[in-house]
Structure 1
Amino acid sequence: MLKKLSYITLFALTLSSCSDTLDDINKNPNATETPLPPYLLTGTLKQGADLYWGSENNFNSSLLFVQHWAKIQYTEPDRFDVSNTSFTSLWNTGYATLITDLNTILNFSDAEANPNYKGIALTLRSWTFLLLTDAYGSIPYKEAGQKVTPAYNTQKEVYTGLLEDLKQAQSLLNTASGTVTGDLVYKGDISKWKKLVNSLRLRIALKISDKEPALAKQAAIDATTDAAGVFSSNNDTFKFTYISSPQQNPASAWFETRDDFRISKTLVDKLTELSDPRLPVYAQLPSDASVGKYVGGGNGLSNSDANSQGFAKTSKPGTYFLTSASPAVIVSYSEVLFNLSEAVARGYIAGDAEQLYNSAITASLNQFGITNTATIAAYLNQASVKYDATNYAKSIGTQKWIAFYGQGLDAFAEWRRLDYPVLTAGPASVLEGKIPSRFFYPGTEQSLNGKSYQAAVSIQGKDLLTTKLWFDAK
């Protein structure tokens, strides 16, 4: 009996030893079993910048819709000949990567992540939801990350919810609440994050201004009277700065192997008309030196008509945007000044709308390296540039469209909201002369979350590119 017990004990010890050994073997020495806030923050900033500036959501869709870029071959996206598989990355990466990782930070204990990490995470999550609702309309918001088949919230519910989320983020952010590492944008400067929060609150205030003017006014007041302030210089601009390959700007990576985009003729013609000093920054001269001037590509052309414009006779986007270290600007000082100007024009806050408008244009010019005071003054003094108080939407909308060059998702959102400049669909486009008003929902939503999808569509309208969203429906 004693001998039998000894064998049992030895066998048990052997199993225990094998189990421990297998556990050790199955550990990834290069991975952390507990995700740390700095790594999650770094990853979110990089992946968010790639998502915002990458091909699917930017230069192969929204930059075409607003006629900043045009396709010179493979013109289907420029003709809006796309399907519900064309806009999946914003949705999939937004939810499965960005929001999931940011929720992980928010769910950490205070010992694992101090309040500043959580305030930053809530700010970035709000920005992600804002991109999603601006593009698609109704989206999973309150139940996102909580249920396998989350219900959709209306765009109004999302915007108003985000105002509350950003208010909470502002209360979490405090210079006395601990240091932050892994922040590749603001290097842990909490005062700049607090300015970003207020700048996003101001952006949302204007998003809801045509539908909920009383709430919009209060949100604008709250954002601009908060002690932290909004952006006050180009140094506050929220941007991700890339380095060399493979951590390079997505447009730079694209043009290393492909040549299917040109700057849009619509934009080149407008910049030429205005003698805009940003034209040499936004565009390159055609490689055929005999052309001798900037030539944009037409939008919405057939493949044959687009090709016939001549690869060597049309202008590629400027080298400023196609170098490895080109920054991904996400929220600019110029945008904030335009938003302040509009808030004054709408009577939400006190100030000088014209002066803020001029400052916004100046900030954009400075952002792109144009600092000569005489050049700036000459541009601002043109009759076609001067602020028109009788039609602030035209003045702000047109100049904001120019300043947003390269920021397709936000240029698309603001063009729909302000309705300027007036754009015309290309001759071979397939939407009966219309330009898209939204992105399609991914096809997987119909198969994997069909009940919620159908409920959302029944309220918002058919899942079409031409269905106007709540903030855009005049």
Structure 2
Amino acid sequence: MKRIYIPLLLATFVAFTLTSCNDELADVNRNPNATENPQPAYLLSAAEYHAANLYWGSTTSYNSSLLWIQHWAKIQYTEPDCYNVSNSDFATTWDTGYATLVANLTAILQSDLSNDNYKGVALVWRSWTYLLLTNLFGDIPYTEYGQSVTPAYDSQETVLRGVLSDLEEADKLLTVSGEKIEGDLIYKNDISRWKKLAKSLRLRIGLELGDRDENTAKKIISALYEDRSNLINSNEDIAQFVFTSSPQWNPWASAFSSRDDQRISKTLVDKLNAWSDPRVGVYAQLPQDVSVKTYVGAANGLSADAANNQGFYKLSLPGTSFLKDSAPAVFYTYAEVLFIYAEAAARGWITADANSLYQQAITASLNQFGVSNEDVIEEYLQQEGVQYDASRWFEKIGWQKWIAYYGQGPDAFTDWRRLGYPQLAAGPNSALNAGELPRRFFYPATEQSLNGKNYRLAVAHQGADEITTRLWFDVEKKNR
């Protein structure tokens, strides 16, 4: 694929970061004699840009989680869609997460800057990074990262609870009336929205604790629900990074500019078609073969020959809005917040109408993707397959949240494992045992060679370093 080059818009920011930071930031983190005055605007811009490329890029998204969650399917080079992957396939996710994002953001936090708003934003975004890493790998270095060249791994439970505390601290650091910041390309230096994101990330983690520590989950979510006006509470608050034109383009646009490996998944398109979902024309394109008059998805988990034989031009590409150079990388939506409230109401954690919140969540997603006609929305909500059913809340919320997550492969992957819905099936050429699906990423091979002792301790605690090993939050659902 075409290499994604450093964006021109961020040339000064990223030039600083790449020439002086990537090799030295780890030293800044652990060397008391290193500079304590990094340029925070440069580091923040670079961390946000690299996070967007990581979250929506090949290793973390369209050649892994986006396939495994069956939003997309491969029609060429189908190995990752058949779960035929190795521990070298996820090294970029690990290395970028730690050596670029965590390192840059920690440099801001450990500086002697007097501007607490920079530190608050850095702590929120570092928390987002740690949450991404632990939800993909499980046990990871957290408390010792940056303090040792061979940091110990913390349990996922420790990471989740630690990040919750970090986000509380970030909320305290962030002050709307405080000093201004620069270099923020997600919220354009708007501290009030960073405070909303800090609380909303705590909401996400609270839900993730639910099957392990229901009392804590209920306490966190009920308190945040009472404070809901200070969380993400409209589509205007969506956390996203807006790309511009080549070469600082969206990684999906970059991929499709030179390759033709992916199509929309049959699993997704069939559900959208069955419910006459008005988002289908946003998520997908009509096939290039003009004789095909409807949206058609590609089957997941096929051999290369079988995938090719479906017909390149008879299958739907991703929607044009997602393949524009400037298409945003979306990290957190208003719809997700409302779906969390709906699930909390269904589980009795908050006093609220689960059905109303469920409908509000679907409406927020429809609005997000350009569907605003009230009659169209109401018609969609009244379909039997869409209507809320309290006795099957996990199924109803699971399907609709999965649809709303389109494009957000890593978080859709997390929520599918946590909730158990939608119920997905492996393709016929799966490399795993019958009925098994991926549930995590492999640790990179460099951890075995450079941090072998701690790697082995992590595997002994968590389970085999296999993609089928369940993470701590991923509790088997026997009663659903």
TM over 0.5: yes
In terms of Rg, which structure is larger? 1
Stretches of structure 2 that go unaligned for 5 or more consecutive residues are 1-15, 22-34
Aligned equivalent of 1:165: 166
Q: For residues 79-106 of structure 1, what are the alpha-carbon distances to aligned partners after superposition, in whole Å with 9 as ceiling and x for unaligned?
A: 0111000111111100000000000000
Aligned equivalent of 1:75: 78
Deviation at 1:31, TM superposition (A): 7.4
CA distance in 1, matches of 2:20, 2:63: 35
CA distance in 2, matches of 1:42, 1:234: 23
1:442 corresponds, among 429, 433, 444, to 444
Indicate the RMSD between aligned Cα atoms, in angstroms: 1.6
CA distance in 1, matches of 2:222, 2:278: 34
Letter in 2 for 1:286: P
CA distance in 2, matches of 1:404, 1:116: 30
Letter in 2 for 1:328: A
Aligned equivalent of 1:137: 138
Deviation at 1:342, TM superposition (A): 1.1
Contact 1:73 1:303 in 2 (8 A): yes
Aligned equivalent of 1:37: 40
Deviation at 1:432, TM superposition (A): 1.5
CA distance in 2, matches of 1:191, 1:343: 25
Contact 2:38 2:111 in 1 (8 A): no
Aligned equivalent of 1:105: 108
Deviation at 1:187, TM superposition (A): 1.4
The 5 Å alignment of 1:232-381 reads 232-381=233-382
CA distance in 2, matches of 1:66, 1:188: 33
Deviation at 1:353, TM superposition (A): 1.2
CA distance in 1, matches of 2:392, 2:404: 19
SS of equivalent residue, structure 2 residue 393: helix
Letter in 2 for 1:451: K
1:96 corresponds, among 94, 99, 107, to 99
CA distance in 1, matches of 2:354, 2:255: 39
CA distance in 2, matches of 1:324, 1:395: 34
Contact 1:198 1:224 in 2 (8 A): no
Deviation larger for 389-398 or 407-416: 389-398
SS of equivalent residue, structure 2 residue 224: helix
Aligned equivalent of 1:205: 206
**Structure 1 segments of 4+ aligned residues over 4 angstroms from their partners:** 30-34
CA distance in 2, matches of 1:103, 1:59: 28
Aligned equivalent of 2:126: 125
Contact 1:237 1:333 in 2 (8 A): yes
1:53 corresponds, among 52, 56, 62, to 56
SS of equivalent residue, structure 1 residue 35: coil
CA distance in 2, matches of 1:196, 1:145: 25
Q: For residues 28-68 of structure 1, what are the alpha-carbon distances to aligned partners after superposition, in whole Å with 9 as ceiling and x for unaligned?
A: 9x979963111111111111011000011101000100100
Stretches of structure 1 that go unaligned for 5 or more consecutive residues are 1-26
Aligned equivalent of 1:452: 454
Letter in 1 for 2:440: R
Letter in 1 for 2:192: S
Letter in 2 for 1:268: V
Letter in 1 for 2:45: T
SS of equivalent residue, structure 1 residue 60: helix
CA distance in 2, matches of 1:219, 1:139: 24
Letter in 2 for 1:92: D
Contact 1:249 1:322 in 2 (8 A): yes
CA distance in 2, matches of 1:393, 1:90: 30
Letter in 1 for 2:264: I
